[in-house]
Structure 1
Amino acid sequence: MGKVIYWMNTSADGYIEDPDGRMDFMDPAEDFHEAANDHVRRISAFLFGRRLYEAMEQPWTQDLDKEGATAVEREFAQLYRKTPRYVFSDTLQTVPEHVTIVRRKDAVSVATRLKQEIDGTLQLGGPELAASLVDLIDEFWVYALPVIVGGGKPYLPVREGLRLRLVEHRSLASGIMFRRYVRP
């Protein structure tokens, strides 16, 4: 049976987007990219909401050699491209190879089936998708960047509280804080 990890990068005040809907404050340092690569090496599949999928797909599937990308960024792109991706969307009609569209009405049943069938880690990304699948999430990961944006889209927009237990935390040299939580 697989494990579902909800991982999103946030500002220090807990937002994945600023009040204008931008994520340009998310310019992570090299040490973050190294930590992300270490994590992504162990991912069996990505489960994305549409907006996060669109933010990730284009930059990590293009030819990074032409853009002067670092070695760690090129490695992330290789890892990303070889990992199966599921995008939960009612609007997308076509996707490239290694990507599967899941309609939102089927989100819980498909995510449940994937969790039962895939023996590994399923990385869930996208706050609205995570809120709709919150009962399936085993771990909550936060990489908080050292910036305050003062509002915007929260990490997890749920309507009721959720108690968690901190099982790991560390600080990267760049000032990014990592926290990993599980249910008590």
Structure 2
Amino acid sequence: MGKVIYWMNTSIDGYIEGPGGGMNFLDPAEDYHQAANDHVRRIAAFLFGRRLYEAMEKPWTQDLGKEGAPAVEREFARLYKETPRYVFSDTLQTVPEGVTIVRRKDAVSVVTRLKQEIDGTLQLGGPELAASLLDLIDEFWVYTFPLIVGGGKPYLPVGKELRLRLVEHRSFASGIMFQRYVRP
């Protein structure tokens, strides 16, 4: 049986995007990038909300990972392209090979089915999607970058309280912190 992890990068004050939108403030250092690659090697599928999908897809399938890019980025691009991707959207009509569109109304049933069919990790990304699938999330992964942005889009929208247990944490020389939480 598969497990769903919700993984996002945040500022110290808990935002995945700054006040003006975008994730430009999250400048991944090489130590973080190598750890991310190590995690992605174990992922069976990506489950993305539309906005995160659009932020990831073109850069990692077309722009990054090309000759001349750092080896750690080329490796991430290769791993990304090799991993099946599901995008949860009611507006997208077409996607490239390797990507499946799932309508938002079907999110719970599709993720429930994927958890039963896939023996591996399903990496969920996107705060609105995560909020809609909260009861199906097994682990919460947070990479916290050493900066405060003062507002923007939070890791999770305001919602219900959920107590978690810290089972892993790691600090990087770059100042980035990794925390992995599970349900008690």
- The interval holding the TM-score normalised by the smaller chain is over 0.9
Give the TM-score normalised by structure 1. Answer: 0.97
- Deviations 1:131-170 (CA, angstroms, capped at 9, x unpaired): 0000000000000000100111100114111100111111
- How many residue pairs get aligned? The number is 184
Q: Which residue of 2 is the match for residue 161 of structure 1? A: 161
Identity of aligned residues (%): 86
Q: Which residue of 2 is the match for residue 116 of structure 1? A: 116
CA gap of 1:174–1:108, structure 2 versus 1, over 3 A, is same
1:33-44 maps to which residues of 2 (within 5 A)?
Answer: 33-44=33-44
Q: Quick one: distance in 2 between partners of 1:87 and 1:66? A: 24
Q: Quick one: distance in 1 between partners of 2:15 and 2:163? A: 19
Shift of 1:66: 4.7
Q: Which residue of 2 is the match for residue 53 of structure 1? A: 53
Q: Quick one: distance in 2 between partners of 1:115 and 1:173? A: 35
Shift of 1:65: 5.6
| Pair 1:135-2:111 in alignment | no
Q: Which residue of 1 is the match for residue 180 of structure 2? A: 180
Q: Quick one: distance in 2 between partners of 1:23 and 1:67? A: 24
- Deviations 1:48-99 (CA, angstroms, capped at 9, x unpaired): 0000000000010015465731000000000000000000000000000000
Shift of 1:19: 1.1
Q: Give secondary structure in 2 for the equivalent of 1:140.
A: strand
Q: Which residue of 1 is the match for residue 7 of structure 2? A: 7
Q: Give secondary structure in 2 for the equivalent of 1:62.
A: helix
Q: Which residue of 1 is the match for residue 76 of structure 2? A: 76
Q: Which amino acid in structure 2 is aligned with residue 171 of structure 1? A: S
Q: Quick one: distance in 1 between partners of 2:65 and 2:47? A: 27
Give the TM-score normalised by structure 2. Answer: 0.97
Q: Which residue of 2 is the match for residue 30 of structure 1? A: 30
Q: Quick one: distance in 2 between partners of 1:20 and 1:65? A: 27
Which ranges of structure 1 fall in alignment gaps of 5 or more residues? none
Q: Which amino acid in structure 2 is aligned with residue 55 of structure 1? A: A
Which ranges of structure 2 fall in alignment gaps of 5 or more residues? none
Q: Quick one: distance in 2 between partners of 1:176 and 1:135? A: 28
- Deviations 1:9-36 (CA, angstroms, capped at 9, x unpaired): 0001110011111211011100011000
Say what the alpha-carbon RMSD is for the aligned residues.
1.1
Q: Quick one: distance in 2 between partners of 1:33 and 1:64? A: 13
Q: Which amino acid in structure 1 is aligned with residue 55 of structure 2? A: A
CA gap of 1:147–1:111, structure 2 versus 1, over 3 A, is same
Q: Which amino acid in structure 2 is aligned with residue 143 of structure 1? A: Y
- Whether contact under 8 Å (2:65, 2:78) holds in the other structure is no
- Whether contact under 8 Å (2:85, 2:100) holds in the other structure is yes
